Amino acid sequence: MSYNLLEGKKGIIFGALDEKSIAWKVAMRAKEEGAEFVLTNAPLAMRMGEINKLAEACNAQIIPADATSVEDLENLFAKAQEILGGKIDFVLHSIGMSPNIRKGKSYGDLNYDWFMKTLDVSALSFHKVMHVAEKMDAMNEWGSVVALSYIAAQRVFPDYTDMSQAKALLESIARNYGYRLGLQKKIRVNTISQSPTKTTAGTGVGGFDVFYDYADKMSPLGNASAEACADYTITLFSDLTKMVTMQNLMHDGGFSSMGISEGVIDMIQK
């Protein structure tokens, strides 16, 4: 159902890899709500070509950019404004990658070059996106910037290894840039802390199926789906949440407020 919440708004959506991606669902919902936007992803990720289907469905253009490259981001913001015919109202940062997780390294055996890569791709890229947007004065007043986080920023999930630190850094960047962009242009910056979700990045984490089921049993509403995450993201891009900024917003079916649940007790007693 569409409410025209994003009528007339222009955006940049990072991170749609395939139709399971959270960014993919956000793009589809943003289109339904009347937004115009460009899609972007790392040049390597585009070789799979899936994003072309999304671009067609959303009547959106694709601009490749490695989010760790300031030069690529400058090109992206310049081209996006050209294509969309004006400044940007919303940005979705839906990017995460850890070479240590990919290679199955445990927390006590991390490769530090890879650790730096994890932080650069999954967190510093968020800083760089806002740095470029600010320097180029590329966003409209009352714009909205959202990145996706995970509760391992606050609690221990052993298999999430260096991504836990990346998410803590990401959330801190949201607060600090939120202050800066809020003062300058009333732009709000938030992170959404999402339930485990069956995507390429999500299922790459060791033991994913177990903590997916655990979180589902622990949460009174169950795990939040990627579609529900897209709905929530749309509200944050809309004018209905203009005064929400510098927050890490839990979108987890209640998981973060739980100690133990009957569902989990049943699981253990079995």
Q: Does 233 bind ligand NAI (CB under 6 A)?
A: no
- Give the whole-angstrom CA distance, residue 79 versus residue 246: 28
- Give the whole-angstrom CA distance, residue 163 versus residue 114: 11
Q: Does 152 bind ligand NAI (CB under 6 A)?
A: no
The dihedral sign for the CA sequence 92, 98, 67, 113: positive
Q: Which region, judged by CB under 6 A, interacts with ligand NAI, from 17-25, 81-89, 105-113, 154-162?
A: 17-25
What mask of x and - would describe binding to ligand NAI in positions 103 to 142, judged by CB under 6 A? ------------------x---------------------
Instruction: Give the helix, strand, coil percentages of the chain, each rounded to 5.
Output: 55, 15, 35
Q: Which region, judged by CB under 6 A, interacts with ligand NAI, from 20-28, 102-110, 232-240, 242-250?
A: 20-28
DSSP 53-113: HHHHHHT-EE----TT-HHHHHHHHHHHHHHHTS-EEEEEE-----HHHHTT--GGG--HH
| Binding residue (CB under 6 A) for ligand NAI from 90, 150, 177, 237 | 150
- The question of whether 3 is a catalytic residue gets the answer no
Count other C-beta atoms under 10 Å from residue 102's C-beta. Answer: 12
- The question of whether 160 is a catalytic residue gets the answer yes
CB of 19 to ligand NAI, least distance (A): 9
| Binding residue (CB under 6 A) for ligand NAI from 148, 181, 218, 224 | 148
- Size of residue set near ligand NAI by CB under 6 A: 27
Question: Which C-beta is closer to ligand NAI: that of 14 or that of 77?
Answer: 14
The dihedral sign for the CA sequence 101, 213, 231, 151: negative
| Binding residue (CB under 6 A) for ligand NAI from 26, 38, 45, 139 | 45
| Binding residue (CB under 6 A) for ligand NAI from 54, 97, 129, 236 | 97
- Give the whole-angstrom CA distance, residue 246 versus residue 249: 9
In the chain, the amino acid numbered 196 is P
- Give the whole-angstrom CA distance, residue 115 versus residue 98: 7
Question: Which C-beta is closer to ligand NAI: that of 56 or that of 262?
Answer: 56
Residues 254/221, Cβ–Cβ less than 8 Å: yes
| Residues with catalytic roles | 150, 160
Could you list the residues that contact ligand NAI (CB under 6 A)? 14-15, 17, 21-23, 41-42, 45, 66-68, 94-97, 121, 148-150, 194, 196-197, 199-202
